[in-house]
């Protein structure tokens, strides 16, 4: 008997509202598309500035028109459209929020007031979520603040599940401040702890990757959906629907230089190290030159990403150095402003990833089976690099050092001397992670549960 359509409940309507940074938009838009694939109505709320860039650099209309009821809406991020938003503008934004006594986790209050179910999606790593959650305990136990540089290698005892490897050095960068009480860290901690008031929590990871930490998080937030890596999950589901050659929407906020793919494809297998530090970090001129010498002296071919305006130098001379380096490294390296990173990591020529360990980059490297050299800058990156090197053992951690000799040694270790063991451990990690997003895998099933639970919540 045919079902009476008028009796079926309308599809749930989900509003997705990312923090206005590339890494957050990346994973949030993928989540939105996964929910749209399940037949949900979606509203993606972006800042004017980021939406303009999404439209400029991607064929956004053509991609999303296939989903009935998928719409983009925009709001201001509080800055004029021509503001460069380079450097640490987002930290300034946080500081301002703090000064204005903006309530961390305000979205929860709004949702509660409107009686709408709310699910938190923390786009950073579960290990950093757990560390932020535990910071009040670390302070109470007297393990923070850090007492100078000689104290940095001290092991912390108050983050359950991480007692054997978490050092002061591996705490989120904001913990390095001496005046903890007055620090931005308080905002992060409040925001994190408030997550337990949401109806559920989504994390971009797989049970196989972060099982022990997920068990800890579940003691505070019982309803956790580990549905990642999202880019891999989306690829699986899109390919099942549209065929093997189908790729997900790139959602980049910069113009992608695809010429590096042609260059890569001329290089031997696993011979190139890909070097990129994400969408927010800035390097000093000195750091970039040190890094570049290290790469050059390692005699390894490299593909280096230097975003426009990301090199800080005196009297505006930061950017000139890039042209100079390009000229000098013609035979060994290739430099671009912005790369198609996921595609790059999956090219056979790439044998290592010199990364800042933003969570998206880390997951993309894991899924592609590429070992890492970790050079974290701030926020969750410090703890991510520790987990990559000490727990998963799929890379080396160069944290807090930028010395051409160390760069050279690490590149040689990953690309030559310890190549076999790193290739093997990264391949094993890639295998279990990719299995998790296939039909019957943990992340695949967890997403099915999430979809079902949202349907029930919205009745
Ligand atoms: N990315 C890219 N091309 C580049 C550099 C980065 O497409 O040249 C993408 C990368 O694939 C990742 C995102 O930008 O998905 C950066 O996010 P991540 O969480 O790694 O770092 P963040 O930018 O937030 O520090």
Residue 3: predicted pLDDT = 56
Ligand 1 atom with least separation from CA of 357: 20
Measured by CA distance, the residue closest to atom 11 of ligand 1 is 341
State the distance between the two ends of the chain, measured CA to CA, in whole angstroms: 24
ipTM of predicted assembly, 2 dp? 0.99
Rounded Cα distance between 274 and 171, Å, is 26
Q: How far is the CA of 124 from the centre of ligand 1 (A)?
A: 12
| Residue pointed to by tokens 């309530």 | 103
Q: Pocket of ligand 1, candidates 126, 254, 275, 278: which has the most ligand atoms within 8 Å of its Cβ, to mutate?
A: 278
Low-confidence ranges of the chain (pLDDT < 70): 1-6, 86-105, 182-183, 244-248, 314-318
Residue 142: predicted pLDDT = 94
Residue 95: predicted pLDDT = 62
User: CB neighbours of 24 closer than 8 A, spacing ≥ 6?
Assistant: 18, 123
Rounded Cα distance between 207 and 218, Å, is 12
Residue 275: predicted pLDDT = 98
Measured by CA distance, the residue closest to atom 5 of ligand 1 is 278
Q: Residues enclosing ligand 1, CB less than 6 A?
A: 21-23, 26, 252, 276, 278-280, 305, 338-339, 341-342, 358-361, 364
Residue 330: predicted pLDDT = 83
Q: Pocket of ligand 1, candidates 361, 375, 376, 380: which has the most ligand atoms within 8 Å of its Cβ, to mutate?
A: 361
pLDDT in tens, 121-163: 999 999 999 999 999 999 999 999 999 999 999 999 999 999 9
Tokens standing for 111?
A: 């949702």
Rounded Cα distance between 277 and 361, Å, is 9
Measured by CA distance, the residue closest to atom 21 of ligand 1 is 358
Residue 92: predicted pLDDT = 63
Residue 61: predicted pLDDT = 85
Ligand 1 atom with least separation from CA of 276: 5
């Amino acid at each position: 008997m045919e079902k009476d359509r008028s009796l079926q409940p309308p599809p749930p309507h989900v509003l997705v509202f990312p923090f206005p940074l590339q890494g957050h938009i990346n994973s949030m838009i993928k989540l939105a598309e996964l929910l749209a694939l399940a037949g949900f109505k979606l509203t993606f709320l972006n800042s004017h500035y980021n939406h303009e860039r999404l439209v400029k650099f991607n064929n956004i209309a053509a991609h999303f028109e296939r989903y009935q009821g998928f719409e983009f809406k925009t709001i201001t991020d509080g800055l004029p459209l021509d503001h460069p938003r380079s450097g640490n503008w987002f930290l300034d934004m946080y500081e301002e929020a703090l000064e204005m006594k903006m309530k961390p986790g305000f979205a929860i209050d709004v949702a509660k007031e409107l009686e709408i179910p709310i699910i938190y999606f923390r786009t950073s790593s579960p290990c950093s979520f757990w560390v932020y959650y535990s910071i009040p305990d670390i302070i109470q136990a007297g393990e923070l603040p850090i007492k100078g540089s000689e104290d940095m290698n001290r092991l912390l005892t108050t983050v359950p599940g991480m007692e054997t490897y978490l050092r002061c050095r591996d705490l989120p960068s904001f913990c390095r401040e001496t005046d903890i009480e007055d620090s931005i860290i308080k905002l992060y901690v409040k925001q994190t702890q408030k997550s337990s008031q949401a109806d559920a929590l989504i994390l971009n990871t797989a049970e196989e990757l972060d099982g022990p930490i997920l068990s800890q998080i579940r003691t505070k937030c019982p309803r956790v959906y580990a549905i990642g890596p999202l880019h891999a999950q989306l690829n699986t589901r899109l390919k099942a629907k549209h065929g093997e050659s189908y790729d997900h929407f790139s959602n980049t906020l910069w113009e992608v230089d695809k010429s590096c793919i042609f260059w890569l494809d001329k290089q031997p297998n696993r011979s190139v190290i890909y070097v990129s530090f994400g969408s927010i970090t800035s390097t000093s001129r000195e750091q970039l030159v040190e890094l570049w010498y290290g790469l050059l002296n390692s005699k390894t071919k490299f593909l280096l990403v230097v975003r426009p305006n990301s090199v800080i130098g005196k009297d505006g001379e930061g950017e000139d150095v890039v042209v100079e380096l390009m000229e000098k490294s013609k035979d060994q390296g290739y430099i671009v402003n912005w790369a198609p990173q996921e595609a790059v990591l999956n090219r056979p020529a790439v044998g290592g990833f010199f990364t800042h360990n933003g969570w998206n980059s880390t997951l993309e490297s894991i899924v592609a089976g590429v070992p890492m050299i970790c050079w974290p800058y701030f926020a969750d990156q410090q703890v991510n690099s520790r987990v990559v090197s000490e727990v998963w053992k799929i890379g080396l951690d160069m944290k807090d050092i930028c010395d051409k000799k160390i760069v050279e040694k690490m590149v040689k270790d990953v690309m030559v001397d310890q190549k076999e063991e790193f290739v093997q451990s990264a391949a094993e990690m890639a295998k279990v992670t990719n299995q998790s997003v296939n039909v019957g895998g943990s992340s695949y099933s967890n997403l099915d549960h999430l979809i079902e639970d949202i349907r029930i919540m919205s009745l």
